[in-house]
Amino acid sequence: MAKRPDHARRKLVEFDEETWQALDLLGRDSMKTLQELADEAFRDLLRKYDRPTDLKAALKQSARSSDAPHAVAQKRSRGRR
C-alpha cells in the first residue's frame, strides 16, 4: 500500500450500488485505483468551476483577478474624455 502524504485528508464517501459497480469496472479497465479516479474527477470538477488545483494555479488566478480592476478603471477613464 502506498504511503499517504502527511498533509492528506480523508473523507468517507458513500456510493449507490450501480455507481460503485461502474466505478469499479472503470478502475479495472483503466488500471487505476479508486483514489486515482477520484483525484482525476475532483481536478476536472475544480477546472469546470475555474478553481485552482494547485498553488501555482492559485497564484496565477490571483494575479489575473488583481489586474482586472486596474484594466476596468483605465477603460472608464478613457471613455470620459
What total of structural domains would you count in the chain?
2
52, burial (CB in 10 Å: exposed 0-12, middle 13-18, buried 19+): middle
Helix and strand counts by DSSP (H, E) for the chain:
3, 0
Q: Which domain, by its residues, includes 40?
A: 16-49
The 10s digit of each residue's pLDDT in 32-63 is 999 999 999 999 999 999 888 888 888 888 88
Asked if the structure places residue 2 within a domain, the reply is no
What local confidence, expressed as pLDDT, does residue 40 receive?
Answer: 96
What local confidence, expressed as pLDDT, does residue 65 receive?
Answer: 81
Prediction pTM value: 0.64
Same domain, 40 and 60: no
Average pLDDT estimate for 68-80: 61
